[in-house]
Amino acid sequence: MTAFVLKINRFTLALGVALAVSAIGVAKAEDGEYGVLMKTLANPFWGAMGQGVEDGAKEAGVKYFQQAAESDQAAEPQLNLCNTMLERKPVAMITAAINSTNLLPCLKAAQDAGIKVVDLDNNLDQAVLDKEGIKVTFHIGSDNVAAGAQGAEYLVSKLGKDAKGPVLVIEGLSGNITGEKRAKGFADKLKELAPGLEIVASLPGDWDRGKAASIATDTLTAHPDLVAIFCANDGMALGAVESVYAAGKGEQVTIIGVDGNSDAVKSIKEGRLNASVAQLPYLVGKQAVENVKKALAGEKVEGNIAVPTLVLTKDVIEAGKEPMLPYVK
């Protein structure tokens, strides 16, 4: 009888220790630090997203640390930052990769260490992740194909479905899935709605304002009757604006960007940039933190979280009635 009781007590003690360790693990996961890796903070878009992360963390009562590369072209330095982030052993890593592959070694190491990985702003290609055996907790950001399509819809609403003429597309960084999806969404929808509007060039602008300005200048020289330019982000769109107005063709060429950042809003108000398909980076950052907390607590989180986009024009801004406008940062 004594031996039997002793066995029960030993089992109870072992079970109690196991449960205690398990409880400590859960508490550590929920209470641990989040690592946030941005592309860069030089672009107002990422600054707005960073503000969303900060507010989301404050409201959720979680700790985080944030790092960012010096530019959204610094792929290798961003990988170095990611590896440094790993050394702090965060419970989750919320990462906005510069391209679809540059962070893969770091993300694989994070996964192997039991760290939850989040694809911030939909920069990772699911096919590439599957090939590398990397599973992200969730992707969050705008639907980039839909954002490009919205740009085409705006252009056709302005010029008409029977409009004809050459159109330029300036993509993002070569190999970056975000810019590729926006360009594809725009091209496919434009062909569907107004086949007379012909894309005569679709070139990578590397997210760079100066390079986009050069591309716009060269295309205007080759196609002086150019009717529109779609750019995969606002920085490049503002570069295109400079070139178009320098050529005296501000009234002729409709220019559309993506992001809805503060510089773009200013240009739209001034009547220079025609439109921007505004992402809501503040909400993306805030919701990323909120959903990481849910995932760490064992709650169900959708694998793909889409934050809506909004076509900003001078009329929309001046009317001030769009409910999503307060989130345009």
> How is residue 94 written in tokens?
């919320």
* Predicted pLDDT at 30: 62
Asked, for residue 27, whether it belongs to a domain, the answer is no
Asked, for residue 28, whether it belongs to a domain, the answer is no
Question: Is the pLDDT score of 227 beyond 90?
Answer: yes
Compute how many other C-beta atoms are within 10 angstroms of the C-beta atom of residue 236: 32
- For the chain, how big is the Rg over CA atoms in Å? 24
Among 19-23, 111-115, 268-272, whose mean pLDDT is lowest?
A: 19-23
Among 43-47, 61-65, 148-152, 211-215, whose mean pLDDT is lowest?
A: 43-47
Same domain, 171 and 264: yes
* Predicted pLDDT at 45: 84
- Mean pLDDT score, 253-278: 96
Question: Is the pLDDT score of 120 beyond 70?
Answer: yes
Q: What is the mean pLDDT of the chain?
A: 90
Same domain, 232 and 269: yes
Asked, for residue 320, whether it belongs to a domain, the answer is no
Same domain, 199 and 246: yes
Place of tokens 């894309």: 199
Asked, for residue 23, whether it belongs to a domain, the answer is no
Question: Is the pLDDT score of 281 beyond 60?
Answer: yes
CA–CA distances in Å: residue 325 to residues 136, 282, 320: 30, 12, 7
User: Structural domain of residue 172, as residue ranges?
Assistant: 144-278
Asked, for residue 241, whether it belongs to a domain, the answer is yes
CA–CA distances in Å: residue 310 to residues 73, 78, 139: 26, 30, 20
* Predicted pLDDT at 2: 40
Q: With bands split at pLDDT 50, 70 and 90, how would you rate the model's confidence at 27?
A: very low
Element housing 204 (H / E)? strand 197-204
Instruction: Tally the domains of the chain.
Output: 2
Query: 144 with 309: CB under 8 angstroms?
Result: no
Asked, for residue 12, whether it belongs to a domain, the answer is no
Question: Is the pLDDT score of 21 beyond 60?
Answer: no
Asked, for residue 134, whether it belongs to a domain, the answer is yes
Asked, for residue 228, whether it belongs to a domain, the answer is yes
Same domain, 70 and 173: no
Same domain, 245 and 288: no
Write the DSSP string, 18-82: HHHHHHHHHHHHHHSPEEEEEEESSSHHHHHHHHHHHHHHHHHT--EEEEEESSTT-HHHHHHHH
Residue closest to 156 by CA, chosen among 322, 278, 274, 314: 274
Whether the pTM exceeds 0.85: the reply is: no
Query: 273 with 255: CB under 8 angstroms?
Result: yes
138 DSSP β-pair partners: 118
Question: Is the pLDDT score of 18 beyond 50?
Answer: no
Same domain, 274 and 178: yes
* Predicted pLDDT at 44: 82
Same domain, 132 and 154: no
Same domain, 88 and 129: yes
Same domain, 111 and 230: no
Residue 119 sits in a domain whose CATH number is 3.40.50.2300
Same domain, 135 and 193: no
Same domain, 46 and 82: yes
Give exposure, 67-93, as e/b (b: 16+ Cβ within 10 Å): bbbebbbbbeebbebbeebbeeebbbb
Same domain, 91 and 167: no
